[in-house]
Structure 1
């Protein structure tokens, strides 16, 4: 018998609406109730773990069928609902350096390789062990400014204030197995594999899952003011497959010692496989939560927080020096042993199913089912 505790969401044909579910011994159980018709309701409880464990529920499918998309009566949804979807950026040195490269290349992939060598030699190794916001970080800032190498991305990478931005709208995230979307204006882009924390309105970290914070390098590289256009597009945020709740045997500290794996497979035969240790993160996830919520900002329904990516794929795909960019129908796999695998094929945002089921539709659906 497994001891892990999971929360997931499914679209259920029988109820013609979303349900909250958990997993026991490979079977998925519907635990939706008037007490907790939403995942966010559970996470606002004093003891979400005990509540989920105590619900008997109704068996609806086998987990392997849900994950493979072969279940007949239910379909997997992103595991969050009314929570805000936030993201921390530039929390790993490798991705921090790549952001500087994007900025200096002004979104032109052809210039990236040349700039990468220059920037990596100048700042890459020097920033590896610097604690953000420290005296040493301030000294590094002054030295880099003297070399005309300071950047707004370095400011949030090693400065006292983390980059926290709104990744996507509540309910807009796509699930494991769905297509992730790239804005049609982008020709230089990549996946951003990340751990995603589930956090209550009081700042309590409830659990974790996987996410793909899809990145448009050419768009954001032209101007940081285009961040929203680069990040928040139809199907550009994938979360899942399930949220694993923290308990005595699964802790945040344990999770942050895990290896995260990225795999990309293309119809052109392109294959990429990279791993990264989450222990390389430059900011404590707890501090990222503190910088997100508190007296300065409230999230009444809680929030999902992307922790930033350790990956910045640079393997050439095509002409030497052009680096990596997605092709349509690439399959992106993000995995870690403690959370499973989030897998999504790639398409243009305008070719992905449009997002139509927002908060208003959710409330009407729950009301019609007598749940609120």
Structure 2
């Protein structure tokens, strides 16, 4: 189910593709989607830039275009009705290494140089040295600096530990504006990768002034072997055709849902393989090493402006170590895997794994959006 009954009572902002129309801004009322695209706010970006986006969405008149299940029935492609990622002109940014457990896995990737055959032995060595000593460390604290000194002495310091417990967060560009896919779409793996995994995350919606206005779910698809060979390959590991999924919709903050709910959120994830394989994972925001507000402040401010706002992936605790096929190699995707990420209050995001070269090509960019809106007399 894309949203349960309790979640449907929230204040939602999203995007869908309507056949013979194009991308539309929608909200959810009584289980039905309403097209609230209008000249005053024809994009999600424009809605979020209003002084009171929640009030606008709550009061906006719109056209009933069908039940939410109608648009969740298929990922669709071309001119087929479907959910789109709920962001449009915003930059798509992501934070990495924000949880201690996944941070250790990044160290393992680096030590293994992207070779999954070496992962098990290195994991045992790293765990022996580090153990659970990082679990309660506040990033950038004096205690973190002491741990850093000890790890350097042991020859185990890593660039991933630097951004994991050092003063500066890792913030990178995950995808280009309008390139993210939504509920039901195929998500893509670069065909060079043989060691990869999903990353279930909460994604914040932030306007150009740095206001955190709502949250949604995301899958920050990750190529462990590519990034493990060199951190300088982060762009190749992260930004590929259909490699970023966001959805189902942005839940705007109001009296019933706030940033504190994000801080307490528990994410669940299930991977269902076409071969019958199944893996359940989880990510608890209670264990994040940096507060979400701090991650936003490190991303946008006087040092860096985003005139169209941004959406920000907050990182994940999920670190798949369970062997899928070969002993010692841990988990890796197979094409046809169905990944469902869910979180109470934010619904569920479901996508099917393909190669990026097999996913529909991204062709509808900013120029196409502007021409579409102009043709509908919305600009």
TM surpasses 0.5: yes
Aligned-pair CA distance for 1:337: 1.3
Q: Distance in 2 between matches of 1:325 and 1:225?
A: 22
> Relative to structure 2, which stretch is displaced further, 64-73 or 182-191?
64-73
1:248 aligns with 2:262: no
- Report the secondary structure of 2:352's partner residue: strand
Matches within 5 A, 1:142-181: 142-181=149-188
1:25 aligns with 2:54: no
1:55 aligns with 2:63: no
Aligned partner of 2:109 in structure 1 is 102
Q: Distance in 2 between matches of 1:253 and 1:243?
A: 16
- Report the secondary structure of 1:127's partner residue: coil
Q: Distance in 1 between matches of 2:190 and 2:281?
A: 25
RMSD over equivalenced CA pairs, Å: 1.3
Is the Cα–Cα contact under 8 Å of residues 97 and 124 in structure 1 kept in the other structure? no
Aligned-pair CA distance for 1:214: 0.4
* Corresponding residue to 2:43 among 33, 38, 46: 38
- Report the secondary structure of 1:239's partner residue: strand
Give the number of equivalent residue pairs: 371
Is the Cα–Cα contact under 8 Å of residues 9 and 30 in structure 2 kept in the other structure? no
Aligned-pair CA distance for 1:367: 0.8
Aligned partner of 1:215 in structure 2 is 222
Q: Distance in 2 between matches of 1:97 and 1:129?
A: 14
* Corresponding residue to 1:364 among 367, 371, 378: 371
Aligned partner of 1:305 in structure 2 is 312
Aligned partner of 2:199 in structure 1 is 192
Q: Distance in 2 between matches of 1:193 and 1:322?
A: 21
1:279 aligns with 2:294: no
Q: Distance in 1 between matches of 2:339 and 2:207?
A: 29
Kindly provide the CA deviation profile for residues 177-197 of structure 1, in whole angstroms up to 9, marking residues without a partner as x: 001000000000000110000
Aligned partner of 1:267 in structure 2 is 274
Aligned partner of 1:64 in structure 2 is 69
Is the Cα–Cα contact under 8 Å of residues 60 and 74 in structure 1 kept in the other structure? no
Q: Distance in 1 between matches of 2:282 and 2:74?
A: 27
Q: Which runs of 4+ in 1 moved over 6 A?
A: 70-73
Is the Cα–Cα contact under 8 Å of residues 167 and 232 in structure 1 kept in the other structure? yes
Kindly provide the CA deviation profile for residues 75-111 of structure 1, in whole angstroms up to 9, marking residues without a partner as x: 2111000000000000001110000000000000000
Kindly provide the CA deviation profile for residues 246-290 of structure 1, in whole angstroms up to 9, marking residues without a partner as x: 111101112221211010011122110122321000100000000
Aligned-pair CA distance for 1:221: 0.1
Aligned partner of 2:14 in structure 1 is 8
Q: Distance in 1 between matches of 2:373 and 2:208?
A: 22
- Report the secondary structure of 1:263's partner residue: strand
Aligned-pair CA distance for 1:73: 6.9
Is the Cα–Cα contact under 8 Å of residues 283 and 316 in structure 2 kept in the other structure? no
* Corresponding residue to 2:130 among 95, 120, 123: 123
